[in-house]
Chain A
Amino acid sequence: MPQVTSSLPLVRARGLTKDFGDFRAVNGIDFEISRGESFGFLGPNGAGKTSTMRMVSAVATPTAGDLSIFGLDPHHDGPAIRARLGVVPQEDTLELELTVLDNLLMFGRYFDLPRKLIKERATELLEFAKLTERAHDKCDNLSGGMKRRLTIARSLLNQPELLILDEPTTGLDPQARHLLWERLYRLKSDGVTLIITTHYMDEAEQLCDRLVVMDHGDIVAEGAPRELISQHSTREVLELRFPVDVTTPPIDVLSPLADRFEVLPDRVLLYVHDGDDTLRAVHAAGVTPVSALVRRSTLEDVFLRLTGRTLVD
């Protein structure tokens, strides 16, 4: 399979915009994704991730802006682009009335693949998804984790160069999540480019080489997970828990000790370089929290800082 010149980005978006009536879901964003990269879109619900994914999957048409995928224009070359894409949608959209195997066999046909080849690949993919024993069961009878794995297997039938996963592990138990991550690593090491949206920060840290944080249709930060943490948070976080009846923690004492602090209903977060040092200073200042925890800054701290703690729908 000849490659689109590898210096070209696999996906390139300039001023990508999507409106639904008066509502602007994606507000002129720019990004580039290189071949072999695993790229994350993070953001709260309604941030515009799924709309972006649907445009990058050459399904939804952008309202404005330039988008090229494999160097092609999705408006004119939609079928050619989609032939090289794999998409794992947010919700499993399997044919529940068909068997596990028939789901794969039929889906392969949509890609103009010959039946014999589809059968070979389906057998391999059932192995990959650990579903070989369930091949002849109706999809309706599968557990949530199995359905998810089948959806992912289905997305690989056309051996895509670019795999787009929209919240791939939402609703999965930890075992299923880890199995899925391991599968995604394998794909990545096989050279498949991954685009992942998630709101699990540990997942983003584990899987993404580079990511963007979206909020209200804009990209608010971009970089490798480690870079983002060092740019937008401190090295460590000291979490101090106070008794519930202490309505106002001693902020005037604590605030000079941290780069940044945050007061939550049950605890105070101090963003600092060295948590243990700060904890000693807190004790020295005569403040005695019920408990104290020192941890490293995570992507979740960055995420909450950038997109706020208010609940979004």
Chain B
Amino acid sequence: MNAVLRLTPQWRFGSRRSLYILERNIMAYKRQWPVFVSGFFEPLFYLLSIGIGLNHLVGDVHVGGTTISYGAFVAPGMLATSAMNGGIIDSIFNVFFKLKVSRVYEPVLATPLDVNDIALGEVWWSLTRGALYATSFIICMVLLGDAGSPWVVLCLPGTVLTSFCFACVGLAACTYLRSWQDFDAVNIVQLPLFLFSATFFPLSLYPSWLASIVVFSPLYQSAALLRGLSLGQFSWVMLIHVSYLFVMGMVGLAIAARRFRRILAP
């Protein structure tokens, strides 16, 4: 009975038991460590191909009154993109599989874990992976001379926030997918985000009508935040970026939890 009474008071959303989903995923991925190796090399490929390649063609870029190399400009954008892709792919593809194909969550609902714990647990997992990849990305940035300042370490929490935002939105989105065919829709959203978020070139180069749309892109918010952190150019606008990503993530999580309940415990 002690074990029963000792049950932790619920957080406002989910409980500490959500960490068991993280534990479960780590156990399931123990045999699939090559996935992580590829995640480690991905940023290096990004930086080498786009950063070094275009660096020579483009030369320097003027941002916020300072002149930096194109590599230093584009690296935070790549970092944001990689966090977006990681967060979305992980929560959409893997969670869809667990939710509707392998039905991993059904037995979990027969334990003290709640639907909210499951949703939150998957977010922890995305953040863990996001933090791992971000760390390797930031190390690569430093080694390749693409880090704008020592403040680049703050890109780690910034990237984790980005992962949070996209993982939660992805989690909500995946509950609306009916079959694998619907995944094409994910690309339709993901690609323009990637191309039109001031990741490759500064916002000032966009025509003004497009720029006013671009600023609403979550990837722009993240790229601008990470760029500011990497260069050590702090401003109050960063608070807007942070709030934007955080609120969007929370909304995604709330929708995801509602949808999870409808699917798993109707």
Contacts and interface: CB of A to CB of B under 8 A. Distances in A.
Q: Could you say which interface size class chain A belongs to?
A: 35 or more
Contact of A79 (B1, B7, B266): B7
Interface residues of B, number: 26
Contacts of B31: 97
A255 B93 CA distance: 65
B124 to A, nearest CB: 14
A116 B169 CA distance: 38
B62 interface: no
A93 B102 CA distance: 8
Given A80-B112, A98-B27, A59 B107 contact: no
12 contacts: A20-B266, A82-B112, A83-B112, A86-B110, A89-B107, A93-B107, A95-B28, A98-B27, A110-B20, A110-B113, A111-B111, A158-B111
Nearest to A105: B27
A295 to B, nearest CB: 39
A112 B17 CA distance: 8
Given A83-B4, A83-B7, A59 B27 contact: no
Nearest to A164: B110
Interface string B111-141: 1111000000000000000000000000000
A312 interface: no
B109 A111 contact: no
A175 B7 CA distance: 41
Interface string B221-262: 000000000000000000000000000000000000000000
Contacts of A111: 111-112
Nearest to B29: A97
Interface in A187-229: none
B103 interface: yes
Contact of A97 (B28, B111, B114): B28
Contact of B4 (A84, A87, A98, A110): A84
Contact of A110 (B1, B103, B108, B265): B108
A1 B112 contact: no
B28 A98 contact: yes
Contacts, number: 76
B22 to A, nearest CB: 11
A2 B102 CA distance: 38
A89 B102 contact: no
A54 B109 CA distance: 10
Contacts of A57: 110
Contacts of A98: 27-28
Interface of A: 1-2, 20, 54, 57, 59-61, 78-80, 82-87, 89, 93-98, 102, 106-107, 109-113, 154-155, 158
A2 B1 CA distance: 7
Contacts of A155: 110
A96 B23 contact: no
B116 to A, nearest CB: 11
A97 B104 CA distance: 11
Interface in B165-206: none
Given A80-B112, A93-B104, 13 more contacts: A59-B110, A79-B114, A83-B3, A83-B4, A89-B110, A93-B103, A95-B28, A98-B28, A106-B24, A107-B111, A110-B112, A112-B7, A154-B107
A89 B28 contact: no
B107 A109 contact: no
Contacts of A54: 265
B5 to A, nearest CB: 8
Contacts of B109: 59
A9 B265 CA distance: 25
Contacts of B110: 57, 59, 82, 85-87, 89, 155
A207 B7 CA distance: 34
Interface string B1-34: 1011001000000010100100110011001000
**Interface-central residue, A59, A60, A154, by most chain B CB under 10 Å:** A59
Nearest to A21: B266
B106 interface: yes
B160 to A, nearest CB: 25
B112 A79 contact: yes
Closest 5 CB pairs of A and B: A110-B111, A87-B110, A79-B112, A93-B107, A93-B106
Contacts of B27: 98, 102, 106
Contacts of A61: 265
Contacts of A79: 7, 15, 17, 112-114
